[in-house]
Structure 1
């Protein structure tokens, strides 16, 4: 991990959602894999679904994972420091966007339920309908181009390897939201090299951006 003590020259923040803006729900991804019969942990679930042989099978698989996501949405809780960070970004004119492999409905639910209206504006929200999804750097580069901001002046905030891979591919700075479910990434030399900063709650980002 980088030895710098602050995020430098940040003009925009791009957030993951699950496990980042809201608390992690460790049961969700295993439940999604079980719902579509995916047993190989090395295979990406969206890649698996897109490779199914018929449109009917792909539609049914998407329906099944959406059922899991609907349950997760009903149980969603905000990440500590969410409102504090969004207030800081809004007051200081730092652009905020979301890039998630989830659907739009849970994103809107999080924003409507847990954020005051004055802090709830996001410049861009990309869901898994944008192709290719993370870990490709393309969605982050799309946001950077749309904002007219160099990737080096953007920070990606996420809690997964896909988030860090996407940010590195796009040339963004990285902040890893650490929790009990993703501690193994910090233990891996290869993965930890992609991480510039580690936080355990979102209020720590205010410090990183203010120092």
Structure 2
């Protein structure tokens, strides 16, 4: 069993608690786009896989692992009269301004992983600029040697392009890296890249959905140090 030397994190639902970070933003977005029309708001909520009463994302929401284009397409089906550029700007400006909610306290976790000699990266289907802004807002951007979004030139998950780019940037072999994520997209991407795959339950997907694609499913990223320690004890001793 090869030692893990690099870890690539998904962002939303993995580093950040998905519901607590995005639910309020999405509720406001739907209300703004609907312009106070209850029927339009309900139709938008259905298209975006969102429960307005909770408020909470539904398991089939395109916002969970999709790019902004997927979200815009869903909005356009309901409100084709809206100017697409305006909607894109509204989503991007609003997402830049959110305050992400950590899935677990990130500074001690990330510093502990770095202290173990691990190289860290982020691969998200969000745009790179807001991803960097969100990480910077929590004071952890400098912990990552690599940050990529779907618009960074490597493609979007579930394709492995961002993970391949992480390996090129760090010089690490894929088999020495782990992809950590809360969605099937994350884990399919990790497997396609040849990485160890780790599912976490701080997004929308349940364990039964992630388990077939993951080498292990953890409650959250706070369990990573223990998993790494157990993995190290299971590894065969070198001669």
Quickly name the TM-score band, shorter chain normalised: 0.7 to 0.9
Instruction: Give the deviation of 1:169 after TM superposition.
Output: 1.1
Q: In the alignment, does 2:89 pair up with 1:95?
A: no
Instruction: Give the deviation of 1:79 after TM superposition.
Output: 1.7
Q: How many residues align?
A: 194
Report the Cα distance in structure 2 between the residues aligned to 1:104 and 1:180, rounded to whole angstroms: 20
Q: In the alignment, does 2:124 pair up with 1:126?
A: no
Counterpart of 1:204 in structure 2 is 223
Query: 1:47-73, CA deviations, whole angstroms, 9 ceiling, x for partnerless residues?
Result: 5458x8xxx9553342132244245x2
- The structure-2 alpha-carbon separation of the partners of 1:100 and 1:116, relative to structure 1 and needing over 3 Å to count, comes to closer
Report the Cα distance in structure 1 between the residues aligned to 2:132 and 2:26, rounded to whole angstroms: 24
SS in 2 for 1:156: strand
TM-score where L is the length of structure 1:
0.75
- The structure-2 alpha-carbon separation of the partners of 1:23 and 1:153, relative to structure 1 and needing over 3 Å to count, comes to same
User: What stretches of structure 1 of length at least 5 have no aligned partner?
Assistant: 1-6
SS in 2 for 1:210: helix
SS in 2 for 1:77: coil
Q: Would the aligned equivalents of 2:156 and 2:162 in 1 still touch at CA under 8 Å?
A: yes
- The structure-2 alpha-carbon separation of the partners of 1:59 and 1:14, relative to structure 1 and needing over 3 Å to count, comes to same
Q: Would the aligned equivalents of 1:23 and 1:77 in 2 still touch at CA under 8 Å?
A: yes
SS in 1 for 2:143: coil
Q: Would the aligned equivalents of 2:9 and 2:121 in 1 still touch at CA under 8 Å?
A: yes
* 1:69 alignment partner, one of 53, 75, 95: 95
Q: Which moved more, 1:56-65 or 1:153-162?
A: 56-65
Counterpart of 1:159 in structure 2 is 182
Instruction: Give the deviation of 1:171 after TM superposition.
Output: 1.1
Q: Which moved more, 1:151-160 or 1:201-210?
A: 201-210
Q: Would the aligned equivalents of 1:84 and 1:203 in 2 still touch at CA under 8 Å?
A: no
- The structure-2 alpha-carbon separation of the partners of 1:29 and 1:198, relative to structure 1 and needing over 3 Å to count, comes to farther
Q: In the alignment, does 2:176 pair up with 1:187?
A: no
TM-score where L is the length of structure 2:
0.67
Counterpart of 1:27 in structure 2 is 23
Q: Would the aligned equivalents of 1:157 and 1:177 in 2 still touch at CA under 8 Å?
A: yes
Q: CA RMSD in A?
A: 3.3
Instruction: Give the deviation of 1:19 after TM superposition.
Output: 1.3
Report the Cα distance in structure 1 between the residues aligned to 2:10 and 2:179, rounded to whole angstroms: 8
Where do 1:5-44 residues align within 5 Å?
8-25=2-19, 27=23, 39=47, 44=66
- The structure-2 alpha-carbon separation of the partners of 1:127 and 1:107, relative to structure 1 and needing over 3 Å to count, comes to same
